[in-house]
Amino acid sequence: MSQSAPTPTRVLVAEDEAIIRLDLAEMLREAGYDVVGQAGDGEQAVEMARSLNPDIVIMDVKMPVMDGITAAETIGGERICPVVMLTAFSQRELVERARDAGVMAYVVKPFTAGDVTPALDIALSRWAELKTLEAEVADLGDRLETRKAVDRAKGVLMAKLKISEADAFRWIQKTAMDRRMGMREVADAVIAGMENA
Protein backbone atom coordinates (compact mmCIF):
# COMPACT_ATOMS: atom_id res chain seq x y z
CA MET A 1 0.00 0.00 0.00
CA SER A 2 1.51 3.30 -1.08
CA GLN A 3 -0.97 5.32 0.97
CA SER A 4 -0.12 5.73 4.63
CA ALA A 5 -3.26 7.76 5.34
CA PRO A 6 -6.16 5.83 6.90
CA THR A 7 -8.60 7.02 4.22
CA PRO A 8 -7.37 6.21 0.71
CA THR A 9 -7.22 8.90 -1.96
CA ARG A 10 -10.45 8.94 -3.99
CA VAL A 11 -9.76 8.84 -7.75
CA LEU A 12 -12.00 9.34 -10.77
CA VAL A 13 -10.65 7.65 -13.92
CA ALA A 14 -11.62 9.18 -17.28
CA GLU A 15 -10.47 7.30 -20.39
CA ASP A 16 -12.47 6.52 -23.53
CA GLU A 17 -10.74 3.19 -24.24
CA ALA A 18 -12.44 0.67 -21.94
CA ILE A 19 -9.45 -1.71 -21.68
CA ILE A 20 -7.05 1.07 -20.65
CA ARG A 21 -9.66 2.50 -18.25
CA LEU A 22 -10.19 -0.89 -16.54
CA ASP A 23 -6.44 -1.58 -16.38
CA LEU A 24 -5.79 1.83 -14.87
CA ALA A 25 -8.59 1.44 -12.30
CA GLU A 26 -7.19 -1.97 -11.30
CA MET A 27 -3.63 -0.59 -11.11
CA LEU A 28 -4.80 2.25 -8.85
CA ARG A 29 -6.78 -0.09 -6.58
CA GLU A 30 -3.71 -2.33 -6.20
CA ALA A 31 -1.68 0.77 -5.26
CA GLY A 32 -4.16 1.53 -2.47
CA TYR A 33 -6.34 4.18 -4.12
CA ASP A 34 -10.14 4.21 -3.96
CA VAL A 35 -11.46 4.39 -7.55
CA VAL A 36 -14.82 6.12 -7.03
CA GLY A 37 -15.87 6.35 -10.68
CA GLN A 38 -14.99 5.71 -14.31
CA ALA A 39 -15.92 8.02 -17.19
CA GLY A 40 -15.77 7.30 -20.93
CA ASP A 41 -15.83 10.88 -22.22
CA GLY A 42 -14.92 14.40 -21.09
CA GLU A 43 -18.46 15.59 -20.43
CA GLN A 44 -19.21 12.54 -18.28
CA ALA A 45 -15.90 13.13 -16.42
CA VAL A 46 -16.96 16.70 -15.53
CA GLU A 47 -20.45 15.55 -14.40
CA MET A 48 -18.96 12.72 -12.30
CA ALA A 49 -16.34 15.03 -10.78
CA ARG A 50 -19.14 17.41 -9.73
CA SER A 51 -21.29 14.66 -8.22
CA LEU A 52 -18.61 12.38 -6.71
CA ASN A 53 -16.22 15.14 -5.55
CA PRO A 54 -13.09 12.93 -5.86
CA ASP A 55 -9.68 13.92 -4.44
CA ILE A 56 -8.17 13.73 -7.93
CA VAL A 57 -9.08 12.95 -11.55
CA ILE A 58 -6.81 11.07 -13.95
CA MET A 59 -7.94 11.74 -17.51
CA ASP A 60 -6.95 11.04 -21.10
CA VAL A 61 -6.27 14.06 -23.33
CA LYS A 62 -8.08 12.66 -26.39
CA MET A 63 -11.71 12.07 -25.41
CA PRO A 64 -15.04 12.10 -27.25
CA VAL A 65 -17.81 14.69 -26.62
CA MET A 66 -15.46 17.02 -24.71
CA ASP A 67 -11.67 16.68 -24.93
CA GLY A 68 -9.67 16.00 -21.78
CA ILE A 69 -8.01 19.43 -21.61
CA THR A 70 -11.36 21.26 -21.81
CA ALA A 71 -12.77 18.91 -19.15
CA ALA A 72 -9.66 19.48 -16.98
CA GLU A 73 -10.09 23.25 -17.36
CA THR A 74 -13.71 22.99 -16.19
CA ILE A 75 -12.87 20.73 -13.22
CA GLY A 76 -9.94 22.92 -12.17
CA GLY A 77 -11.87 26.14 -12.81
CA GLU A 78 -14.65 24.97 -10.51
CA ARG A 79 -11.98 24.08 -7.93
CA ILE A 80 -13.29 20.51 -7.64
CA CYS A 81 -9.92 18.74 -7.52
CA PRO A 82 -6.58 18.43 -9.31
CA VAL A 83 -6.33 16.70 -12.68
CA VAL A 84 -3.54 14.45 -13.99
CA MET A 85 -3.56 14.05 -17.78
CA LEU A 86 -2.79 10.82 -19.62
CA THR A 87 -1.42 11.27 -23.10
CA ALA A 88 0.09 9.19 -25.86
CA PHE A 89 1.72 12.37 -27.11
CA SER A 90 4.40 14.52 -25.55
CA GLN A 91 3.81 17.35 -28.03
CA ARG A 92 4.88 20.69 -26.65
CA GLU A 93 1.71 22.62 -27.53
CA LEU A 94 -0.44 19.95 -25.89
CA VAL A 95 1.63 20.10 -22.71
CA GLU A 96 1.39 23.92 -22.74
CA ARG A 97 -2.39 23.78 -23.29
CA ALA A 98 -2.69 21.30 -20.41
CA ARG A 99 -0.57 23.52 -18.15
CA ASP A 100 -2.63 26.59 -19.05
CA ALA A 101 -5.78 24.59 -18.25
CA GLY A 102 -4.45 24.04 -14.73
CA VAL A 103 -3.41 20.40 -15.14
CA MET A 104 -1.16 19.56 -12.18
CA ALA A 105 0.82 16.68 -13.74
CA TYR A 106 0.74 14.39 -16.74
CA VAL A 107 1.74 10.84 -17.63
CA VAL A 108 2.77 9.62 -21.10
CA LYS A 109 1.40 6.27 -22.34
CA PRO A 110 2.31 3.46 -22.08
CA PHE A 111 2.59 3.84 -18.31
CA THR A 112 3.15 1.71 -15.22
CA ALA A 113 2.02 2.15 -11.61
CA GLY A 114 5.51 3.58 -11.06
CA ASP A 115 4.68 6.38 -13.52
CA VAL A 116 1.15 7.06 -12.31
CA THR A 117 1.45 7.15 -8.51
CA PRO A 118 4.23 9.80 -8.34
CA ALA A 119 2.25 11.98 -10.79
CA LEU A 120 -0.82 11.71 -8.52
CA ASP A 121 1.30 12.61 -5.47
CA ILE A 122 2.80 15.64 -7.25
CA ALA A 123 -0.63 16.80 -8.42
CA LEU A 124 -2.15 16.49 -4.94
CA SER A 125 0.80 18.35 -3.41
CA ARG A 126 0.62 21.19 -6.00
CA TRP A 127 -3.15 21.41 -5.51
CA ALA A 128 -2.70 21.75 -1.73
CA GLU A 129 -0.14 24.53 -2.35
CA LEU A 130 -2.53 26.33 -4.69
CA LYS A 131 -5.36 26.14 -2.14
CA THR A 132 -3.04 27.51 0.59
CA LEU A 133 -1.99 30.42 -1.62
CA GLU A 134 -5.57 31.15 -2.64
CA ALA A 135 -6.68 31.20 0.98
CA GLU A 136 -3.98 33.77 1.73
CA VAL A 137 -4.46 35.97 -1.30
CA ALA A 138 -7.98 37.08 -2.14
CA ASP A 139 -7.25 39.33 -5.14
CA LEU A 140 -6.83 37.45 -8.43
CA GLY A 141 -3.99 39.63 -9.76
CA ASP A 142 -2.10 39.36 -6.48
CA ARG A 143 -2.79 35.63 -6.42
CA LEU A 144 -1.04 35.12 -9.76
CA GLU A 145 1.94 37.29 -8.75
CA THR A 146 2.18 35.48 -5.40
CA ARG A 147 2.10 32.10 -7.12
CA LYS A 148 4.84 33.17 -9.55
CA ALA A 149 7.00 34.51 -6.70
CA VAL A 150 6.49 31.35 -4.61
CA ASP A 151 7.31 29.14 -7.63
CA ARG A 152 10.52 31.11 -8.28
CA ALA A 153 11.47 30.99 -4.59
CA LYS A 154 10.81 27.23 -4.50
CA GLY A 155 13.18 26.83 -7.47
CA VAL A 156 15.86 28.87 -5.71
CA LEU A 157 15.47 26.89 -2.46
CA MET A 158 15.48 23.55 -4.31
CA ALA A 159 18.71 24.47 -6.12
CA LYS A 160 20.52 26.04 -3.14
CA LEU A 161 19.38 23.68 -0.37
CA LYS A 162 18.99 20.51 -2.51
CA ILE A 163 15.46 19.90 -1.20
CA SER A 164 12.23 18.70 -2.85
CA GLU A 165 9.56 21.02 -4.23
CA ALA A 166 7.18 20.08 -1.39
CA ASP A 167 9.89 20.76 1.25
CA ALA A 168 10.67 24.13 -0.35
CA PHE A 169 6.97 25.09 -0.21
CA ARG A 170 6.73 23.96 3.44
CA TRP A 171 9.84 26.01 4.27
CA ILE A 172 8.26 29.16 2.74
CA GLN A 173 4.94 28.46 4.46
CA LYS A 174 6.55 27.84 7.89
CA THR A 175 8.82 30.89 7.60
CA ALA A 176 5.80 33.05 6.72
CA MET A 177 3.90 31.78 9.77
CA ASP A 178 6.90 32.02 12.14
CA ARG A 179 7.67 35.59 11.07
CA ARG A 180 4.02 36.64 10.65
CA MET A 181 4.68 37.59 7.04
CA GLY A 182 2.81 36.85 3.83
CA MET A 183 4.13 33.98 1.70
CA ARG A 184 4.81 36.45 -1.11
CA GLU A 185 7.01 38.58 1.19
CA VAL A 186 9.01 35.49 2.17
CA ALA A 187 9.26 34.38 -1.47
CA ASP A 188 10.48 37.85 -2.55
CA ALA A 189 13.07 37.83 0.26
CA VAL A 190 14.29 34.36 -0.77
CA ILE A 191 14.59 35.45 -4.41
CA ALA A 192 16.38 38.69 -3.54
CA GLY A 193 18.73 37.06 -1.02
CA MET A 194 19.61 33.78 -2.64
CA GLU A 195 19.61 34.56 -6.36
CA ASN A 196 22.29 37.16 -5.72
CA ALA A 197 24.28 34.96 -3.33
Residue range 15-41, pLDDT digits in tens: 888 888 888 999 999 988 999 999 988
Percent of the chain with pLDDT over 90: 10
The pLDDT confidence band at residue 100, using thresholds 50, 70 and 90, is low
More confident residue, 143 or 155: 155
Query: The whole model's pTM is what?
Result: 0.65
pLDDT, averaged across the chain: 82
Residue 3 pLDDT > 60: no
Nearest of 60, 140, 143, 53 to residue 103 by alpha carbon = 60
Give pLDDT, residue 33: 92
Residue 2 pLDDT > 60: no
Q: How far is residue 165's CA from residue 155's CA, in Å, rounded to a whole number? A: 8
The SS3 call for residue 80 is coil
Going by their DSSP bridges, the two strands 56-60 and 105-108 should be labelled as unpaired
Q: How far is residue 131's CA from residue 150's CA, in Å, rounded to a whole number? A: 13
More confident residue, 102 or 167: 167
Residues 6+ apart with CB under 8 A from 47: 39
